[in-house]
C-alpha cells in the first residue's frame, strides 16, 4: 500500500486531499457520462468522495483506489437515477434529433431515448456502459460489483426491452 | 411498412441517441466544496425527530400488537 493510501485510511485529511485531486476528474467523467448533467455530476462527485471518506476504514489496501472510486461513483450515479424524474435531468432531453444516413433514426432515437429513460436504473447504467460507452463486460462487472453473467443478462434484458419498444412503434428486428 | 433494424443498427442508434454532448472534462477543482463538506458539523436530530421517536416509543408501549403489525409491514 502506498504511503498516501495508508495515511488516508488513518484519517489524514491531507492524504485524502491528494487522492481527491488525483481522482476527481476521473470520477466526474464517469458520472457525467451516466447522468448527462454537469451540475448533478459535480454534486455526485462530492457525494462519491464523501462516501469514500466515511468508509475509509473499509478500504482494502490490496486493491486499487481508482477502481474503488469508480465503483462508488457508479453507485452514486445509480442512486441519482433512481430518484423521481422531476428531480433529475432526463435522457429524453439529450436525444439529438438529427438523423443519420444509416437508418431513418430521428424517430428511432426519440423512441429509444424514451425507452431508455424508462429502464430500471441498474439496467440503464449497465446498458450505457456496455452499449454506449462500449466498456468491456469484465470492467463493468468490477465497477458495479456484480458478476460477468449479471452484466450479460442486464445487457440482454435492456436490449430486449428497447427492441420491444421499437417494435411497438413500427420498427422490426 | 415496418422498417427493419438489426442488432448492430439498434446499438448504433442507441449510441447516437445517448452519447452525451455534455463535456466530460471537469472544469474546476472541487476540493474547496469537498473541504467545506468535511468541515461541516454533523447533522443533529431536530426537535421534530426527537418528538417522532418519543411518539413511536409511547405507541410501542401502549399498543405493542399494533407495533408488531407495523414492523411486519415495513
Domain map of chain B by residue range? 46-74
More reliable by pLDDT, A104 or A78: A78
Concatenate the DSSP letters of all residues of chain A into one string: --HHHHHHHTT-HHHHHHHHHHHHHHHHHHHHHHH--HHHHHHHHHHHHHHHHHTGGG--TTS-HHHHHHHHHHHHHHHHHTS-GGGS--GGGG---PPPSSS-HHHHHHHHHHHHHHS-HHHHHHHIIIIIS---HHHHHHHHT--HHHHHHHHHHHHHHHHHHHHHTTEE-
Q: A115 and A85 share a domain?
A: no
Nearest beta carbon to residue A32 from set B6, B11, B24 = B24
Q: What is the DSSP letter of B19?
A: S
Gap between the Cα atoms of A45 and A25, Å rounded: 9
Taking each helix axis from N to C end, the angle separating B47-62 and B64-73, rounded to the nearest 10 degrees, works out to: 120
Provide φ and ψ at B3, rounded to 5°: -95, 130
Query: Both A78 and A123 in a single domain?
Result: no
From A32, A58, A89, the end of a domain falls on: A89
- A77, A101: one domain: no
A19-65 pLDDT, tens per residue?
999 999 999 999 998 888 899 999 999 999 999 999 999 888 778 89
C-alpha span between A169 and B51 (Å, rounded)? 53
Q: Which residues contact A20 (CB under 8 A, 6 or more apart)?
A: A49, B30, B31, B34
Domain housing A49 = 1-89
Domain boundary among A59, A89, A119: A89
Residue in B5, B33, B38 nearest the CB of A103: B5
At A100, the pLDDT band (50, 70, 90 cuts) reads very low
Q: Do A46 and B21 touch (CB under 8 A)?
A: no
C-alpha cell at B11: 446499438
Same domain membership, residue A101 and residue A64: no
**Candidates A36, A127, A170; nearest CB to B2:** A170
Contact A155, A126 (CB under 8 A): yes
Question: Which residues in chain B are contacts of A163 at CB distance < 8 A?
Answer: 10
Q: How many CB atoms lie within 10 A of CB B48?
A: 8
What CATH number does residue A14 fall under?
1.10.1740.10
Residues A64 and A121 in one domain: no
* A113 and A48, same domain (yes or no): no
The residue-averaged pLDDT of A126-138 equals: 91
Q: Looking at the structure, do residues A99 and A133 belong to the same domain, yes or no? A: yes
Q: What is the CA radius of gyration of chain A?
A: 18
Give the distance from residue A164's alpha carbon to the nearest chain B alpha carbon, in angstroms: 12
Among chain A residues, CA nearest to B27: A25
A165 Cα to chain B: minimum distance (Å): 12
Q: How confident is the model over B53-62, as a mean pLDDT?
A: 88
The residue of chain B nearest to residue A169, with distances taken between CA atoms, is B2
Radius of gyration of chain B from its Cα atoms, rounded to whole angstroms: 27
Can you tell me the ipTM of this complex? 0.72
Contact A21 B16 (CB under 8 A): no
CATH of the domain at A128: 1.10.10.10
pTM above 0.80, yes or no: no
Chain B nearest-CA residue for A35: B20
Q: Structural domain tally of chain A?
A: 2
Residues of chain A contacting B37 with CB distance shorter than 8 Å: 46, 50
Of A28, A127, A162, the CB nearest to B26: A28
Amino acid at each position: 500500500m502506498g504511503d498516501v493510501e495508508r495515511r488516508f485510511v488513518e484519517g489524514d485529511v491531507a492524504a485524502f486531499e491528494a487522492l481527491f485531486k488525483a481522482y476527481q476528474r476521473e470520477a466526474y467523467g464517469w458520472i457525467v457520462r451516466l447522468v448527462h448533467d454537469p451540475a448533478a455530476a459535480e454534486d455526485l462527485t462530492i457525494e462519491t468522495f464523501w462516501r469514500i471518506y466515511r468508509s475509509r476504514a473499509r478500504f482494502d489496501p490490496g486493491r486499487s483506489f481508482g477502481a474503488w472510486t469508480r465503483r462508488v461513483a457508479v453507485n452514486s450515479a445509480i442512486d441519482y437515477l433512481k430518484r423521481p424524474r422531476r428531480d433529475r435531468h432526463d435522457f429524453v432531453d439529450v436525444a439529438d434529433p438529427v438523423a443519420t444516413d444509416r437508418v431513418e433514426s430521428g424517430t428511432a432515437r426519440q423512441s429509444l431515448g424514451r425507452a431508455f429513460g424508462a429502464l430500471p436504473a441498474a439496467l440503464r447504467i449497465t446498458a450505457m456502459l456496455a452499449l454506449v460507452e462500449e466498456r468491456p463486460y469484465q470492467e463493468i462487472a468490477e465497477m458495479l460489483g456484480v458478476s460477468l453473467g449479471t452484466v450479460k443478462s442486464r445487457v440482454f434484458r435492456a436490449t430486449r426491452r428497447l427492441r420491444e419498444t421499437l417494435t411497438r412503434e413500427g420498427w422490426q428486428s | 411498412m415496418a422498417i427493419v433494424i438489426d442488432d448492430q443498427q439498434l446499438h448504433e442508434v442507441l449510441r447516437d441517441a445517448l452519447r452525451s454532448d455534455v463535456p466530460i472534462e471537469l472544469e474546476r477543482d472541487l476540493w474547496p466544496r469537498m473541504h467545506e463538506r468535511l468541515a461541516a458539523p454533523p447533522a443533529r436530530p431536530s426537535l421534530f425527530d426527537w418528538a417522532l421517536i418519543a411518539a413511536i416509543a409511547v405507541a410501542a408501549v401502549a399498543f405493542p400488537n399494533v407495533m408488531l403489525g407495523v414492523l411486519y409491514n415495513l
